[in-house]
Amino acid sequence: MCMHYNVGVSHILCIWGVKVKNKIESNRAKIKSVRYIPSLKSFKKKGQKVVDNIQQAVLLSINLCNLKYFNEIYGTDEGDYLISKMIDYFIINNDNCVFGTKSYVDHLLVLCEGYNYSKEELIDYYEHFSKDFKEEINAKYPRARINLDVGMYIVQKDEDFIVAQDNARYARRSVADSYETSVAFYTEGLREKSLREASVIPNFQKAIEEHEIIVLLQPKYSVEKNKIVGAEALSRFKDPSGNIVSPALYVPILEKANIIYQLDYEVLRQVINMQKRWQDEGKELFPISVNLSRIDLLEDDIIENIDSLVEASQIPKNTIEFEFTETVLVENLSSVINKLNLLKEKGYRIAIDDFGSGYNSLYVLGQIPANVIKFDRGFVLHSLSNEIGLTIMKNLVETFKEISFEVLCEGVETKEEEANIVACGCDVIQGFLYDRPLAVPDFEAKYVAC
């Protein structure tokens, strides 16, 4: 294998290529002479026989990202041409390809000879191989910027070929949407992760149907008043073994499946019922924040649905605060602003969560009708690390207060962090220093006065 990448791909392939069995060479010749691409069914059926005649069989699962966007920009005819170029590059003119097929419109399965090279060498090679293809395409179509995800798996001679395809796919999914690396080898951990992800939706649907979504409350504490002034509602649910599923796992999956609204509405419903019960019992009410996803804001009737739930309970609307991350500001900004304005006009509180973790300008934030800006823990910690960061933090807090934003810092864990944050002008704090998220009965016993 040539490790000097300042030469052309064809030259690399010449150095990379070696003679293998006549049967394999014949198959390659067939591919090149008649552009022979077997059907997916034929690929699956004959794959194992081909593996038996390869020195080291490496199965590639290749996905072309952004095809839908590419078609929007350049048209479907150019999209078809792009797919044909991908087939030419990875199958027809790839000297290492022994057998390949198109499994669906933007996805290839390619069985290659690996010549007993190590996984590290194979990853290095196909990283550069893929990079050359992307650079060629993006130079011709600069407005779309396509990307490739490539998963690899070394197929054993006595192994079920269908299992091998699954393993290559698990590897590909591990680099999905990553622009830092586009090639990965299968590991057993990837299969386990994929199975966990696949179980999220059925486990979530069961939790919704059987009213098993758990709401936890984490207090928001005012240092000046020496008491809590609010709380954030957080969701959890359990898998069939009774283990809590991490929100870091299920939230992106539910967003991608466009069913995150089911979770957000259920949390909101429970918070409203809780506030209603406190009100009926004569207990003190304070704002409870509920997370809403950018997917929620795509619903035309979201404001009406929220408002009907709250009005039916007859609790004050300012006891409900909706938290949105900066990512809601990435797309459909005018529509998002209109809906947030409507929520605020109806009396609800608005908080922008995780400030400092995204890329939106202060100008954009200035258009959002928010009551609260929540500084992300990562941003806070970096700001506390030196005098320049502290100065920036202090001035940001002063600026937000001047334009009538309340400011909260989350993720605070030590007294030293608290002291620095308070010195910057931020009084309200959320984090483990004060309390972890608590089950509702525990929160009520500790914080809700009669």
Where is average pLDDT lowest: 4-13, 125-134, 249-258, 347-356?
A: 4-13
Q: Which of 152, 186, 220 is the last residue of a domain?
A: 186
Percent of the chain with pLDDT over 90: 51
Same domain? For 318 and 215 the reply is: yes
Query: What is the Cα–Cα distance from 12 to 2, expressed in whole angstroms?
Result: 6
User: Taking the alpha carbons of 131, 132, 135, 138 in that order, is the dihedral positive or negative?
Assistant: negative
Pair (180, 275) in one structural domain: no
Q: What is the pLDDT averaged over residues 105-116?
A: 91
Question: Is the same domain home to 181 and 51?
Answer: yes
Q: Which domain holds residue 30?
A: 9-186
In a domain, 191, yes or no: no
330 and 260 inside one domain: yes
Same domain, 178 and 54: yes
In a domain, residue 2? The reply is: no
**Domain at 148, CATH number:** 3.30.70.270
pLDDT, residue 296, reads 85
- Mean pLDDT over the full length of the chain: 85
Q: What tens digit of pLDDT does each residue of 14-70 get? A: 333 333 344 455 555 544 444 468 888 888 888 888 888 888 999 999 999 888 889
The last residue of one of the domains, among 186, 205, 230, is: 186
Number of domains composing the chain: 2
Q: Which residue has the higher pLDDT, 1 or 155?
A: 155
Same domain? For 177 and 261 the reply is no
pLDDT tens track for 211-228:
999 999 999 999 999 999
Mean pLDDT of 180-193: 79
Percent of the chain with pLDDT over 70: 87
pLDDT 10s digits, 290-341 = 999 878 887 888 899 999 999 999 999 999 999 987 666 655 677 888 889 9
